[in-house]
Structure 1
Amino acid sequence: MSGWIDLQVNGYAGIDFNGPPLTDRQLIDVCQRLSDDGVQQCLPTIITDDLQLMCQRIGRIAQAIETLPEAKQVFAGIHVEGPFINPTDGYVGAHPRQHVCAPTPERIEQILDSGAGHVKMVTLAPESPHAVPAVGQLVDQGILVAAGHCDPSLAVLDQAIDAGLSLFTHLGNGCPGQLHRHDNIVQRVLSRSQQLTISFIADGHHVPLFALKNYLQVVPEDRVVIVSDAISAAGLGPGKYQLGDQCVHVDQDLAAWSADRKHFAGCATTMPQMHRLLTEKLGIGAEQLTRWMIENPARLLR
């Protein structure tokens, strides 16, 4: 099976979308490699950094979509993950805390302007100052809004849903390793799985496969999306790679670790490898995987 649609790709096959400006050749090559690996479309993902740098990177991807046929075919738009996230330990994840900020109307417009109409998805923390109005501002402009790297109360999560929040980014990640046993972000989001589409990283590291199996049994089939959260290491194997200014260590099991080995920093597993894990380790059938890896994300991008 191929034709996958991946809503979260930070980089791939040696190319980092969050690093120095990319050449046309690099962008053409990464599109070819994604296509070769069965990814029909994806959202290049720009993560938290200095806002000017983020806008430059967003602008470069937008320019590629408009000028390179290969990019137009593979890049379905741009996913902006941050800088409007929760800056506290665990929730901030691999994002540089010093660049986290609140989603003011001016900052949102700056990001959208840099994307020239190609920003399709924004991940933010609903509990951030101004975040609930920001959800409405983004939705009014046709942007998919996801919660992620966040810890909203159930009441705030519901307010964001009422404002148009429709997704949750990589549930089980972007949160501390130790949480309240009942009232935590995972349980709150699962309780709203009739209203939110929920994405999962299916590499066996970000969420252990036994836990992922439990989550997948709870969330309605039409509300599950598998994402790679790929970084430049994806498709290349163990070694040291860049994610923006960070050095990421990929071990022999393809787990991608921050330099201090305290948390994961993106993913080195490709969509074909995730498909294989879901099939062989969890016994997920082809029909379900088609829904989770093609049909559901495609519906979100319409």
Structure 2
Amino acid sequence: METICGRDPASGAMLEILVAEGVVTGIRHGVCDADVWIAPGLVDLQVNGYSGIDLNSEACTVHDVCLLVRRLACLGTTTFLPTIITAPVAKMAACLKTIAEARAADAMVRHAIPCVHLEGPHISPLDGYRGAHAVEHVRPPSIEEFALLQAGCGNLIGMVTLSPHWVGSAEFVRALVGQGIVVSLGHTHATGEQIRAAAEAGARLSTHLGNGIAAELPRHPNPLWEQLAEDRLSACFIADGAHLSAATMRAMMRAKGFERCVLVSDAVALAGSPEGAYRADVGGEVVIGPDGAIRLRGSNLLAGSGIVLKDGVARVAAELSLGTALTMATSNPGAFVRARGVLRVGADADLITFRWRSGDTTLQVQDVMVRGRVMQQESEENLSR
């Protein structure tokens, strides 16, 4: 049996977590003294890549996926959904196949990646709403195409982002929900009626709300108000300081209700890279500016983010509270992927300890435990093998 200690971010109380055989076997209060916070491992529903590894590239290998899992774990993200964006069917299928093969080959990958998120291709074809997705590959919903992609990856797709403006969208949503797929609305110019119909059919989320939308909108109605007002939809937010201003994010979270807010990174392969011009599978020709934001060259359109989830948690903690921010990055997203991100007896021992003070722009992760295994003991040499 192992013991890991820290302060509860919600209450400040000291916690002693007992771990055996990869699960939490006990939680004791006030019995240890620690100068770190403790929380469940972070859960990220939207990861396109990180640290040079691009999940949307056909050059991505099984080894790359295994390495990405370990790198993100050491940064506190113990569960994440690889996110495959709008592309030709063959390319999407190839990317899905690589992830499926990595899960089959590596138990840690299998644990860290419960399913895959398809962001597209059934999104808005309109400029602005479409974001960095290639317009030539945007297409209407197709049950046949979805079945083909699922068959090729062993039913690994667990979340789909789409725009419900397409004819037959509600029926498509209902069919996916019937298969246990989480449907999220995003990159959409849909009307209020179409958004409500999708929610009635079982859609449960809004993908990076406030982004993937035109720069100028009617005051009302518009897709932002309609999704904020729809209580059947939780909302994902990218808290990198570029996708949403602090004031906008705070107001939208308050409108949606903190219990229905989810933080995502939307990290891409270029996350963490220095300023300059690059070529990327997500967005094509892109530029990283002084603020670390990744934009399409010659445009203000964003092409994913340059953060990992612990950075977003710190930004939201500065605006709200540490406990609230962590809930948005653990149990709230975890509810959409097999109840991950919880700290309770019987749960997987996916735990992080970290230091954070108001004003910090990231969590200073100290130790990471994945199913009872302390990841911080891994060397870079081992991570790269």
**Which bin holds the TM-score, normalised by the shorter protein?**
over 0.9
Higher alpha-carbon Rg:
2
Match of 2:104 in 1: 66
Q: Is the 8 A contact 1:120 1:142 kept in 2?
A: yes
Letter in 2 for 1:297: P
Aligned-residue CA RMSD (Å): 1.5
**Match for 2:65: what amino acid?**
L
Deviation readout 1:112-168 (Å, 9 max, x if unpaired):
222312111000111113211110111111100011001111111111111111111
Q: Which moved more, 1:238-247 or 1:101-110?
A: 238-247
Confirm whether residue 287 of structure 1 aligns to residue 350 of structure 2.
Answer: no
Q: Which residue of 2 aligns with 1:122?
A: 160
- Residue 247 (1) aligns with residue 280 (2): no
2:71 is aligned with 1:33: yes
In the aligned structure 2, how far is the partner of 1:83 from the partner of 1:170? Answer: 16
Alignment CA distance shift 1:24-1:106 (3 Å): closer
Secondary structure of 1:145's counterpart equals strand
- CA shift, 1:297, in A, is 0.8
1:275 maps to: 313
Q: What pairs up with 1:20-99 in 2 under 5 angstroms? A: 20-99=58-137
Identity value in percent: 32
| Displacement after TM superposition at 1:20 (Å) | 2.3
Partner of 2:337: 301
Which amino acid is the alignment partner of residue 223 of structure 1? R
Aligned residue in 2 for 1:204: 241
The residue type paired with residue 335 of structure 2 is: R
The residue that corresponds to 1:266 in the other structure is 304
The one of 128, 135, 140 aligned to 2:178 = 140
Whichever residue aligns with residue 150 of structure 1, its letter is T
Residue 171 (structure 1) shift:
0.5
Partners of 1:26 and 1:69 lie apart in 2 by 15
Q: Is the contact made by 1:19 and 1:245 (CA closer than 8 Å) also made in structure 2?
A: no
Corresponding residue for 2:272? 235
Higher helix proportion (structure 1 or 2): 1
Distance in 2 of aligned mates of 1:273 and 1:168: 21
CA distance in 1, matches of 2:196, 2:309: 32
> Does the CA contact (< 8 Å) of 2:132 and 2:282 recur in 1?
no
Confirm or deny: 8 A CA contact 2:174 2:201 kept in the other structure. Answer: yes
Secondary structure (helix, strand or coil) at the match of 2:97 reads helix
* Offset of residue 287 of structure 1: 1.8
Give, in angstroms, the shift of residue 241 of structure 1. Answer: 5.1
Equivalent residue, structure 1, for 2:145 = 107
Contact 2:279 2:286 in 1 (8 A): yes
SS at match of 1:292: helix
In structure 2, the residue matched to 1:217 is 254
* C-alpha contact (below 8 Å) 1:231/1:243 kept by paired residues: no
> When the two structures are aligned, how many residues end up with a matched partner?
299
Question: Offset of 1:30 from its aligned partner?
Answer: 1.1
* C-alpha spacing 1:271/1:144, structure 2 compared with 1 (3 Å): same
**CA drift at 1:290:** 2.2
Aligned match of 1:156: 194
CA separation of 1:24 and 1:56: change in aligned 2, threshold 3 A: closer
Instruction: Supply the AA of the counterpart residue of 1:271.
Output: L
The answer to whether the 8 Å contact 2:63/2:102 transfers is no
Q: Which has the higher strand share?
A: 2
Instruction: Give secondary structure in 1 for the equivalent of 2:330.
Output: helix
| Code of the aligned partner of 1:116 | G
Equivalent position SS for 1:300? coil
Q: Distance in 1 between matches of 2:107 and 2:60?
A: 16
CA distance, structure 2, for counterparts of residue 244 and residue 288 of structure 1? 31
Offset of residue 245 of structure 1: 6.6
Unpaired segments of 5 or more residues in structure 1? Answer: none
Confirm or deny: 8 A CA contact 1:146 1:165 kept in the other structure: yes
Contact 1:232–1:241 (Cα < 8 Å) also in 2: no
